[in-house]
Structure 1
């Protein structure tokens, strides 16, 4: 009997070939500028993340792996296997709800891709040039976003899976593969990408259960770290000939689309996805779920820049997509639920302003001003707003009613930080201002200087972040 092999190129293979083309394309000056901003943002939010207990405890936990590799652990003075270093950095980057966002997949690519890029680049061998490293980052972002799109995008969230950890492994794996191929001086093989994605398919993680329980949500911070870790580990195993993997990781009967998302679709044919995915990302000026950034901007409009007081405010109505009703009305009994809770985000913003990041920490959960305002917050689904804009645009609206009958209302489609309403470099730098309260001053200026230095190579960028993390956490962060 003669067996036949189906040689038709499927969705996984087509996407893998596209990713290889992206990885092999030298970054343009515009690409480099975009990635510099993403790196500055990631470095700052990762330092914020290292002020959180969950990130520092996981960093301490990695001491058992000291000496297992050459990748530095963020905020610690030991070296580990790159997958372990990526776990810590990814967790830190996602630990203050400030990391970049790919809106239509509701994922946070930078928190999975950049940690893998730094960790794998620290492996022994020829130093990478800055452009090589940037190309690997761009390819990782492209892979994570397009795998997410191919698997149904936001459908994963509605089915209860967190896209950052789910799709993060696919992107981080591509970044790791690209760096290793560049260092070895060989072409990245699409078949190796396909195999690595088959391995990543067996490592999905990240339940959305954290979003509907008032406590116990700190594991959500770890989701990005798991995505980054799992991607590096998938790339490791892909080099083992005996460890084979499925070819149809995306469109297969039990592939990522069927198991976690919606019907697979050819993301490469979508005219909205023709540009590089790094061009369409959103950065976060506010330390909460991206869904509420338009709400915060609408509050700013309705209150004339937060100059109108709240004493006579009797009703606060927020309207927007169904997902807010499903996953974002949980009472804020932890830092995580505070950053995911519509009533808390609105009340914290009205009480202390939109950039008081520390107002989402445990010390503020029982704040009487926040609790008083939160008791007046309601949410209603706006079907028209959802149908017109969601999920490409996280549009919401607010209506504030005062005791004298005055009503102030505003609607925002594209919040500050989206591709349509981008943050400037100075806006990104301002995210570091509050770190002074944690003993780290001048960090934004130092990071900007090295990131925009055309002569600086990849290793110098990694060293700069590590130096800042050690300064932030001090000698006590290095337990013996």
Structure 2
């Protein structure tokens, strides 16, 4: 049988030798920046409904454990910490994303890696390597599954399935699994694989946070702990030679994506860090609108109409039926005009969705299909004023995308704003510093401690 058909064995071998692989300087920096970005999502998300729900659940179980719930003084068992931190990580839509795999890697991988690294006393460098492997596997599995799980084809949610495998491999790396243990790990991960796009019906981001992060992170840590404890499993569950994962899935799955460029590429380099803390499809229209506001500064009461030309599939995700402010395009456009920009606070203010000025302006916004020459990622915005019509376009490469990345300073500025939802400005700056110190840190204890607000100490 050709080696490429032994998908599971190839991935297990790759993961088992990950510790020996040289990490280029640009990859190491990108990994630290994703850690900063995802930690800011966790710390800020810990103050929101989904994050608080995770905290309430684990606190209600009683007892103490070996891992921390970030943004609090809670210490709970390993699996529960991964769940609570996962719930916070996707609570505010500020976490990173990867287009072709249809995943948000960081919100699933980081909570798993943080809980295991803290428990085993891993060094900062070991933690970063595990995170990097987690992104690699999240994206590879996501790309293998995405053709069968897109919104147009299935109710299966790639956003849940991909991070499960990434988080599992990150946990296995920190538990120092060998090749055979990774193969067993895969057997248990596929048993846990689940998640439906019914999160789109959620109105409070709690179910969505569970599907994207809390569930995959905690299930991944659970099965890694099972394997560490000696649970066994036979066979390559990804090999087409016998009963396997792909047989159970829709025919559009692309197993070749699992090993394409394996050992050569670092997929974290392709992952986007968002400028705006909103659902990805909202970014392009907001960027185009902000361009108009910056150029012409039209006053809100002078605007008579706003037209958005965009791929109609996007309206299914960010349209009026979505009750979450950070996933409602009409709301985000209205507050961007009223505030002359879209802030984190505005994009998460559910009560403001009912404000008279927001609703009045929202009624002037019309969603239209794209022009014939328009790419599906391009948003075209037209704003009518007494002086005439103002127009702007924003294509695929909105700031934060892999081909138009935010600078390290921009990422840190975004993180500081989010950290300050829970921490003092001084604490926020310390936390950014602790992230950059990880390559030389003997463990991640100082990093974890820096996430606890003074009021909780």
TM-score tier, shorter chain, comes to 0.7 to 0.9
The residue aligned with 1:327 is: 317
Whole-Å Cα distance in 2 between the matches of residues 261 and 106 of structure 1? 18
Structure 1 position 352 matched with structure 2 position 334: no
Structure 1 position 464 matched with structure 2 position 447: yes
Give the one of 200, 205, 211 matched to 2:200: 211
Give 1:33-112 correspondences, 5 Å limit.
33-67=29-63, 69-112=65-108
1:135-177 superposed Cα distances (whole Å, 9 cap, x missing partner): 1111111000001111135834442333332211100100011
1:271-320 superposed Cα distances (whole Å, 9 cap, x missing partner): 79963111111111212101121222111223335722232333322233
The residue aligned with 1:474 is: 456
Residue-pair matches, total = 452
Whole-Å Cα distance in 1 between the matches of residues 181 and 257 of structure 2? 20
Task: Decide whether the 8 Å contact of 1:316 with 1:401 is kept in 2.
Answer: yes
Structure 1 position 441 matched with structure 2 position 425: yes
Alignment partner of 1:99: what SS? coil
1:196-232 superposed Cα distances (whole Å, 9 cap, x missing partner): 222122223433223246x354211222111111111
Q: Alpha carbon RMSD of aligned pairs, Å?
A: 3.2
Alignment partner of 1:406: what SS? strand
Task: Decide whether the 8 Å contact of 1:66 with 1:79 is kept in 2.
Answer: no
Go from structure 1 to structure 2 and tell me whether the alpha carbon gap of 1:58 and 1:266 turns closer, same or farther (over 3 Å shift).
same
Give 1:148-187 correspondences, 5 Å limit.
148-152=142-146, 155-158=149-152, 159-181=154-176
Alignment partner of 2:254: what SS? coil
Alignment partner of 1:150: what SS? helix
The residue aligned with 1:115 is: 111
1:379-428 superposed Cα distances (whole Å, 9 cap, x missing partner): 33438677x5x6xxx44332223355424232322111112111122212
Go from structure 1 to structure 2 and tell me whether the alpha carbon gap of 1:301 and 1:463 turns closer, same or farther (over 3 Å shift).
same
Whole-Å Cα distance in 2 between the matches of residues 385 and 154 of structure 1? 28
| Structure 2 unaligned residues grouped into runs of 5+ | none
Whole-Å Cα distance in 1 between the matches of residues 263 and 402 of structure 2? 13
The residue aligned with 1:417 is: 400
Report the CA distance between 1:265 and its aligned residue: 3.7
Structure 1 position 278 matched with structure 2 position 268: yes
Whole-Å Cα distance in 2 between the matches of residues 41 and 435 of structure 1? 10
Give the one of 200, 212, 231 matched to 2:189: 200
1:90-148 superposed Cα distances (whole Å, 9 cap, x missing partner): 11111111001112123111111111111001224xx4333222211111110000011
Whole-Å Cα distance in 2 between the matches of residues 354 and 462 of structure 1? 37
Go from structure 1 to structure 2 and tell me whether the alpha carbon gap of 1:327 and 1:192 turns closer, same or farther (over 3 Å shift).
same
TM-score by length of 1: 0.83
TM-score by length of 2: 0.87
Which stretch shifts more, 254-263 or 195-204?
254-263
Go from structure 1 to structure 2 and tell me whether the alpha carbon gap of 1:270 and 1:151 turns closer, same or farther (over 3 Å shift).
same
Go from structure 1 to structure 2 and tell me whether the alpha carbon gap of 1:241 and 1:118 turns closer, same or farther (over 3 Å shift).
closer
Task: Decide whether the 8 Å contact of 1:99 with 1:283 is kept in 2.
Answer: yes
1:448-475 superposed Cα distances (whole Å, 9 cap, x missing partner): 222223774152x44334433333x636
Go from structure 1 to structure 2 and tell me whether the alpha carbon gap of 1:63 and 1:331 turns closer, same or farther (over 3 Å shift).
same
Go from structure 1 to structure 2 and tell me whether the alpha carbon gap of 1:198 and 1:271 turns closer, same or farther (over 3 Å shift).
closer
Alignment partner of 2:393: what SS? strand
The residue aligned with 2:368 is: 380
